[in-house]
Amino acid sequence: MNALLDKAISAIQKLPEAEQEAIAREVLERIEADARWDVLFADPRSKGVLKRLAGEAQEDIERGDILDLDPADRRAS
Specify the pTM: 0.59
The pLDDT tens digits for 41-76 are 899 989 899 999 999 999 998 898 887 777 776 555
Crossing angle for the helix pair 17-42 and 3-13, to the nearest 10 degrees = 140
Give the pLDDT score at 75: 56
Give the pLDDT score at 77: 52
String of DSSP letters for 22-37: HHHHHHHHHHHHHHHH
Alpha helices in the chain (DSSP H): 3-13, 17-42, 45-63, 71-76
Q: Report, as an integer, the average pLDDT of 23-32.
A: 97
Q: Break the chain into its structural domains and give their ranges.
A: 3-65
**Mean pLDDT, all residues of the chain:** 90
